[in-house]
């Protein structure tokens, strides 16, 4: 699954001054889970499911019948499996050549199980369990669900499934746990005019003579329940053949050409992965299905052979899509296709090891994007940001180890967080660098080969890498970074001894909210380089280490290449020397130095002036990626002074003055030869200048918006979201109504979703209130409501939080059930007042199960820490600004 982690870069930048320091997107278990387990009894195992379903899209219900081949391993009088929101009809159990038994069915709604009890003991052996049942079709992305969308021909409805982590049980009574792999044969009765899609190709179809068709799919390979997929709708499909596989994209009728880029990307990625994993993609086809609407929590899902992706991460409309959209489509496809091996072919045994799926797919998506699209120039950004984004969460008390214990369905859902994805990917990146690309890949290949169609735990992977890279203490290093939480800090100092540079390294711990914490111990692989082009020396820091570099003229740079998962604190003299030679460092190391300095200054380990001075000395000719950071840094300054209008005005003028020359150099419009990074910087600068209140930029955005109203084609795809976003932020009632009219008349589902999102962005409180009221109506569509409330919360946390709590019953209907414990506290996360802490705590006490409160705890801790750090930082930042004449 691809989580919506919009904040990776924002988080990494947060250390550079933003008050958003603690605005993490993630859930974090802080307390030990209660000793409960949802794992089913292990004495009965399914081997195959034959499923027949008929959805009734009009009345949001379906009829189902499933025949499950089960092995009873030990004599028992009952069989328990998972079921949620299902209504049971006839149930019977047959043994080969035996008579059918009719059990008594009892349902435990809270445990999401059903138990079939028999009045005699069942001997061990193979049985066929047949269950007739009815289920519900939801309106949020879990279980079997419906999405309505506008088309030129009027409103349409299509059906999809989303089962990860534990919602297959809403579709079939099943052993809905990743370790219970089985084969699936699906038969679907649906309107003859509609397309029916599942994991496997169609085996046969039969018209029923009444406008319905029965479609039977070929049997799936042995797989986990959460990977099963079904979709029914008015679709078009485009395909190509490559590597012996039929690769397809499926979209609503008339839109499939917009999936052409994704189709070709899938082909390129599949070739790459067939090679990388050393095992060919095992299914005959691989579809990617585009769905209108959105989820608050994910953008795509890796169902085996039938990837599900929301339209905004799959379709490209040439009139409105830009290079960032292309990048999102490509990386999303690469992520989901990586799962076809890492997750689908080899699956974690239980959710404790979810990171194996998600950390790996996240790392693989970055690696593949850099390799197949070098023109996007993502190397530096990835290396510097992947690790720092995760550190933004990992340095708080509310973090958790990458491998963590998961006890409940809700905890499994909360495990899809920035640590599992971001830290998982960053640690893999470091470990691959430590053992070398070839050894890493050989280990991965043998892990996949050994566990294909089975389940594995983290140590199974480590065992294979250890074998591929002997003599490196690999497993020990890997354990240090995956079994314990937190961020190592490497303190570095150096001296010139006999014409050589002697670098001393000492390991501590970087923490944001626990300055007195006793550091944990990690064995940390560290690359140290002398000067700009010296050769990096690798050392494994186990507590302390020292490195000798030739010569004394160049300052030593720690974490050269930025693949290490740690922050670096230099002794003052060494920092000064590095800062003096800053312009000559490789971009990736410039970024790493800026990110670490900002984060260390934010917690008082380095003077604020160190960080601010670096941002001031970035020359106009520097890489666009660096200027993105300067803009972020200045935006953070502005944020720090929010609430002090007079002081803020002076700071804004200072920030605008710093950014204006760079923006003047780029201008508003694309120039031939602009790189992807330059184009992205242009929109960032426009947005930042707009947020800083730059009158000229705001006026020009307004002018372009008015031109757009007259002629939509006048606004280029590169500027579309930037300009519309700025206009929406600063909207008055009349402008807001213009946007509202655009939303209502829009016939493209993708653009319509964007417009409703824009309506929730207004700074004006009364307009924000109107967006909240609208979110509860049918107008924006069932999947836009929660996103609108969430968007309002960034500017108006109290307004949004209070509103959602006051309308809890309605809001619950807009958020899928296992994500509510995350959604409500999240609305308070940008708060600046301690009063929000009390509100979230009261809400959690009343409405969130004690085992699911980690998100609430994380948000509360984030707000408290942000307020405290702000008080510590303000005087230093203010003094620096005054020194600059501000
Ligand atoms: Zn994923």
Q: What does the longest C-alpha to C-alpha distance in the chain come to?
A: 92
Range 115-141 burial, b when 16+ CB lie within 10 A, else e: bbeeeeebeeeebbbbbebebbbbbbb
What pTM value is reported for the model? 0.95
Question: Ligand 1 centroid vs 475 CA: distance in angstroms?
Answer: 24
pLDDT tens track for 156-191: 999 999 999 999 999 999 999 999 999 999 999 999
Question: Ligand 1 centroid vs 740 CA: distance in angstroms?
Answer: 34
pLDDT tens track for 806-845: 999 999 999 988 889 999 999 999 999 999 999 999 999 9
Residue 96 has pLDDT above 80, yes or no: no
Residue 15 has pLDDT above 60, yes or no: no
Residue 338 has pLDDT above 70, yes or no: yes
Q: How confident is the model at residue 222 (pLDDT cuts 50, 70, 90)?
A: very high
3-state secondary structure of 754: helix
Higher pLDDT, 16 or 518: 518
Question: Ligand 1 centroid vs 355 CA: distance in angstroms?
Answer: 9
- First and final C-alpha spacing in the chain: 47
Q: With beta carbons less than 8 A apart as the criterion, state whether 328 and 366 touch.
A: no
Q: With beta carbons less than 8 A apart as the criterion, state whether 479 and 449 touch.
A: no
Question: Ligand 1 centroid vs 347 CA: distance in angstroms?
Answer: 12
Residue 22 has pLDDT above 90, yes or no: no
The percentage of the chain sitting over the pLDDT mark of 70, rounded to a whole number, equals: 96
Question: Ligand 1 centroid vs 360 CA: distance in angstroms?
Answer: 8
| Mean pLDDT on 7-22 | 35
Closest CA to 678 of 379, 324, 386: 324
* H or E element at residue 114: strand 113-122
Residue 617 has pLDDT above 70, yes or no: yes
| Mean pLDDT on 392-407 | 95
> How far are the Cα atoms of 382, 583, 600, 779 from residue 423, in angstroms, in the given order?
13, 29, 19, 39
pLDDT score of 37: 54
pLDDT score of 519: 98
Residue 597 has pLDDT above 50, yes or no: yes
CA dihedral 779, 781, 782, 788 (to 10 degrees): -80
> How far are the Cα atoms of 504, 506, 521, 565, 732 from residue 543, in angstroms, in the given order?
11, 6, 7, 15, 58
Beta strands in 243-343 (DSSP E): 245-252, 285-291, 298-301, 306-310
Question: Ligand 1 centroid vs 563 CA: distance in angstroms?
Answer: 22
Question: Ligand 1 centroid vs 356 CA: distance in angstroms?
Answer: 10
Question: Ligand 1 centroid vs 305 CA: distance in angstroms?
Answer: 15
50 beta partners: 67, 185
* H or E element at residue 157: strand 156-162
pLDDT score of 5: 54
Q: What are phi and psi of 541, to 5 degrees?
A: -85, 115
What is the rounded distance in angstroms from the CA atom of residue 771 to the CA atom of residue 557? Answer: 50
| Mean pLDDT on 583-611 | 95
Residue 25 has pLDDT above 50, yes or no: no
For residue 265, give both structure tokens: 């990307």
Residues in the chain: 886
What is the rounded distance in angstroms from the CA atom of residue 871 to the CA atom of residue 21? Answer: 14
pLDDT score of 749: 92
For residue 529, give both structure tokens: 């380089």
Closest CA to 597 of 112, 15, 10: 15
Question: Ligand 1 centroid vs 523 CA: distance in angstroms?
Answer: 28
Q: How confident is the model at residue 38 (pLDDT cuts 50, 70, 90)?
A: low
3-state secondary structure of 782: coil
Average of per-residue pLDDT values in the chain = 93
Question: Ligand 1 centroid vs 421 CA: distance in angstroms?
Answer: 8
Residues 6+ apart with CB under 8 A from 26: 5, 393, 417, 418, 419, 858
Q: How confident is the model at residue 254 (pLDDT cuts 50, 70, 90)?
A: very high
For residue 350, give both structure tokens: 């239980």
Question: Ligand 1 centroid vs 424 CA: distance in angstroms?
Answer: 12
CB-side exposure of 852: number of CA atoms within 13 Å? 23
Question: Ligand 1 centroid vs 297 CA: distance in angstroms?
Answer: 12
Question: Ligand 1 centroid vs 768 CA: distance in angstroms?
Answer: 33
pLDDT score of 6: 44
pLDDT score of 42: 86
CB-side exposure of 715: number of CA atoms within 13 Å? 23
Question: Ligand 1 centroid vs 342 CA: distance in angstroms?
Answer: 9
Catalytic site positions: 336
pLDDT tens track for 405-453: 998 888 999 999 999 999 999 999 999 999 999 999 999 999 999 999 9
Radius of gyration, alpha carbons of the chain: 28
* H or E element at residue 817: none
What is the rounded distance in angstroms from the CA atom of residue 556 to the CA atom of residue 496? Answer: 11
Closest CA to 604 of 569, 633, 629: 569
């Amino acid at each position: 699954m691809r989580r919506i982690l919009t904040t990776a870069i924002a988080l990494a930048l947060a250390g550079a001054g933003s008050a958003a320091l603690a605005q993490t997107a993630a859930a974090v278990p802080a307390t030990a889970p209660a000793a409960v387990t949802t794992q089913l009894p292990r004495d009965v195992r399914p081997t195959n499911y034959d499923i027949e379903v008929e959805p009734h899209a009009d009345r949001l219900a379906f009829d189902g019948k499933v025949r499950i081949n089960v092995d009873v391993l030990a004599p028992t009088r009952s069989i328990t499996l998972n079921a949620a929101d299902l209504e049971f009809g006839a149930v019977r159990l047959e043994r080969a050549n035996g008579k059918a038994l009719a059990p008594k069915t009892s349902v435990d709604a809270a445990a999401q199980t059903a138990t079939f009890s028999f009045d005699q003991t069942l001997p061990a052996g193979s049985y066929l369990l047949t269950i007739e049942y009815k289920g519900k079709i939801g309106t949020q992305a879990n279980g079997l669900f419906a999405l309505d969308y506008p088309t030129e021909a009027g409103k349409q409805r299509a059906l999809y499934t989303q089962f990860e982590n534990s919602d297959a049980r809403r579709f079939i009574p099943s052993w809905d746990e990743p370790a219970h792999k089985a084969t699936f044969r699906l038969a679907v009765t649906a309107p003859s005019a509609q397309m029916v899609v599942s994991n496997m190709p169609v085996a046969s179809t039969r018209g029923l003579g009444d406008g319905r068709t029965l479609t039977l799919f070929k049997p799936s390979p042995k797989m986990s329940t959460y990977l099963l997929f079904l979709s029914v709708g008015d679709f078009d499909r485009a395909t190509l053949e490559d590597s012996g596989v039929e690769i397809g994209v499926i979209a609503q009728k008339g839109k499939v050409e917009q999936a052409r880029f994704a189709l070709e990307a899938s082909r390129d990625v599949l070739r790459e992965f067939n090679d990388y994993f050393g095992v060919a993609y095992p299914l005959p086809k691989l579809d990617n299905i585009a769905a209108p609407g959105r989820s608050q929590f994910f953008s795509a899902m890796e169902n085996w052979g039938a990837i599900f992706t929301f339209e905004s991460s799959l379709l490209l409309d040439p009139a409105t899509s830009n290079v960032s959209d292309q990048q999102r489509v490509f990386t999303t496809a690469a992520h989901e296709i990586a799962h076809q091996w890492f997750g689908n072919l080899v699956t974690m045994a239980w959710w404790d090891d979810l990171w194996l799926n998600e950390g790996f797919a996240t790392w693989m998506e970055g690696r593949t994007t850099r390799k197949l699209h070098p023109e996007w120039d993502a190397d530096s950004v990835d290396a510097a940001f992947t690790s720092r984004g995760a550190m933004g969460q990992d340095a708080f008390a509310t973090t958790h180890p990458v491998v963590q214990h998961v006890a409940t369905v809700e905890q499994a859902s909360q495990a899809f967080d920035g640590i599992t994805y971001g830290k998982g990917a960053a640690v893999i990146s470091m470990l691959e660098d430590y053992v070398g690309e070839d050894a890493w890949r050989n280990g991965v290949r043998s892990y996949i080969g050994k566990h294909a169609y089975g389940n594995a735990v983290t140590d199974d992977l480590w065992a294979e890498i250890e074998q591929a890279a002997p003599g490196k203490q690999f497993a020990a290093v890997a354990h240090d970074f995956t079994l314990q939480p937190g961020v190592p800090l490497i303190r570095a100092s150096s001296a010139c001894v006999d014409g050589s540079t002697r670098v001393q390294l000492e390991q501590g711990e970087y923490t944001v909210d626990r300055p007195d914490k006793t550091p944990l111990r990690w064995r940390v692989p560290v690359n140290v380089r002398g000067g700009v082009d010296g050769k990096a020396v690798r050392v494994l820091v186990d507590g302390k280490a020292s490195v000798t570099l030739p010569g004394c003229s160049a300052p030593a740079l720690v974490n050269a290449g930025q693949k290490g998962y740690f922050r670096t604190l230099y002794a003052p003299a060494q920092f000064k020397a590095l800062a003096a030679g800053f312009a000559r460092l490789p971009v990736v190391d410039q970024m790493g130095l800026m990110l670490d300095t900002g984060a260390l200054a934010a917690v008082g380990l380095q003077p604020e002036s160190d960080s601010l001075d670096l941002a001031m000395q970035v020359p106009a000719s520097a890489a666009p990626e660096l200027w993105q950071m300067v803009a972020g840094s200045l935006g953070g300054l502005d944020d720090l002074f929010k609430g002090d209008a007079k002081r803020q005005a002076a700071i804004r003028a200072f920030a605008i003055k710093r950014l204006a020359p760079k923006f003047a150099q780029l201008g508003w419009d694309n120039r031939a030869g602009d790189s992807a990074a330059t184009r992205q910087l242009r929109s960032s600068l426009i947005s930042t200048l707009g947020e800083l209140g730059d009158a000229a930029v705001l006026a020009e955005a307004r002018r372009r918006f008015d031109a757009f109203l007259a002629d939509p084609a006048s606004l280029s795809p590169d500027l579309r979201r930037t300009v519309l976003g700025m206009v929406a932020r600063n909207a008055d009632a009349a402008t807001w109504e213009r946007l509202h009219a655009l939303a209502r008349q829009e016939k493209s589902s993708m653009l319509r979703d964007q417009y409703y999102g824009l309506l929730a962005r207004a700074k004006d409180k009364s307009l924000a209130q109107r967006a909240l009221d609208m979110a509860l109506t049918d107008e924006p569509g069932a999947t836009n409501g929660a996103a609108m409330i969430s968007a309002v919360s960034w500017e108006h946390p109290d307004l949004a939080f209070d509103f959602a709590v006051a309308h809890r019953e309605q809001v619950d209907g807009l958020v899928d059930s296992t994500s509510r414990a995350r959604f409500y506290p999240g609305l308070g996360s940008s708060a600046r007042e301690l009063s929000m802490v009390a509100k979230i705590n009261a809400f959690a006490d009343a409405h969130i199960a004690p085992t699911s409160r980690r998100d609430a705890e994380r948000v509360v801790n984030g707000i408290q820490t942000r307020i405290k750090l702000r008080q510590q930082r303000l005087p230093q930042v203010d003094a620096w600004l005054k020194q600059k004449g501000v």
